[in-house]
Structure 1
Amino acid sequence: MRLDKFLAESSIGSRKNVRIYIKEGSVKVNGQVITEPAIDINENVDVIEYFDKLVIHPGKVYYMFHKPAGCITARKDEVNKTVIDYFNEVDMNGVFHVGRLDKDTEGLLLFTNDGDFEHHLMCPQKHVEKKYFFIALGSLTEDDVNKLEKGLSIGKDEPLTKPAKINIIRNGTYKEFEKEMDIKKFYNIDSNRYNQPVVSGYLIISEGRKHQVKRMLKAVGCYVIYLKRVSIGGLTLDETLKKGQYRTLVEEEIQMLLKDL
Structure 2
Amino acid sequence: MMRLDKFLATLGLGSRKEVKKLITSGQIQVNDVTVTKVNHGVDEDHDQVAYLGQELVYQAYYYVMLNKPDGLVSATEDKMHETVIDWVALDFDHVDLFPVGRLDIDTTGLLLLTNNGQLAHQLLSPKKHVAKTYQALVTGQVSEVDIAAFAAGIRLKDFTAQAAELEILDYDPDKDQSLTKVTIHEGKFHQVKRMFLARDHEVLHLHRVSMGPLDLDPDLDLGQYRELTAAECDLLRPYGLE
| TM-score, length of structure 2 as denominator length | 0.72
CA distance in 2, matches of 1:83, 1:219: 30
Alignment of 1:1-261 (within 5 A): 44=45, 59-87=60-88, 88-91=90-93, 93-156=95-158, 158=159, 160-175=160-175, 197-259=176-238
Matched-pair identity in %: 38
Deviations 1:219-246 (A, max 9, x none): 1110000110001112111121121111
Alpha-carbon shift at residue 77 of structure 1 (Å): 2.0
The alpha-carbon distance between structure 1 residues 212 and 78, as it changes in their structure 2 partners (threshold 3 A), is: same
The alpha-carbon distance between structure 1 residues 82 and 174, as it changes in their structure 2 partners (threshold 3 A), is: farther
Please tell me whether the aligned partners of residues 129 and 205 of structure 1 are also in contact (alpha carbons under 8 angstroms): yes
Alpha-carbon shift at residue 62 of structure 1 (Å): 0.5
Letter in 1 for 2:71: G
Letter in 2 for 1:135: L
Please tell me whether the aligned partners of residues 96 and 115 of structure 2 are also in contact (alpha carbons under 8 angstroms): yes
CA distance in 1, matches of 2:61, 2:102: 20
SS in 1 for 2:92: coil
The alpha-carbon distance between structure 1 residues 260 and 81, as it changes in their structure 2 partners (threshold 3 A), is: closer
Please tell me whether the aligned partners of residues 233 and 260 of structure 1 are also in contact (alpha carbons under 8 angstroms): no
CA distance in 2, matches of 1:233, 1:86: 24
CA distance in 2, matches of 1:112, 1:93: 9
SS in 2 for 1:145: helix
Letter in 2 for 1:168: I
Deviations 1:42-80 (A, max 9, x none): 9747xxxxxxxxxxx850111100100111111222221
Range moving further from structure 2, 99-108 or 229-238: 229-238
CA distance in 2, matches of 1:67, 1:174: 29
Letter in 1 for 2:130: V
Structure 1: where are the runs of 5+ without partners? 1-9, 11-30, 32-41, 46-56, 176-196
CA distance in 2, matches of 1:121, 1:254: 13
Alpha-carbon shift at residue 81 of structure 1 (Å): 1.5
Structure 2: where are the runs of 5+ without partners? 1-9, 11-40, 47-57
Letter in 2 for 1:70: G
How many residues are matched? 190
SS in 2 for 1:149: helix
Please tell me whether the aligned partners of residues 72 and 82 of structure 1 are also in contact (alpha carbons under 8 angstroms): yes
Q: Which residue of 2 aligns with 1:24?
A: none
The alpha-carbon distance between structure 1 residues 119 and 107, as it changes in their structure 2 partners (threshold 3 A), is: same
Letter in 2 for 1:171: Y
Please tell me whether the aligned partners of residues 234 and 260 of structure 1 are also in contact (alpha carbons under 8 angstroms): no
Alpha-carbon shift at residue 250 of structure 1 (Å): 1.6
Alpha-carbon shift at residue 165 of structure 1 (Å): 0.7
CA distance in 1, matches of 2:62, 2:133: 24
CA distance in 2, matches of 1:111, 1:174: 39
Letter in 2 for 1:162: Q
Please tell me whether the aligned partners of residues 64 and 108 of structure 1 are also in contact (alpha carbons under 8 angstroms): yes
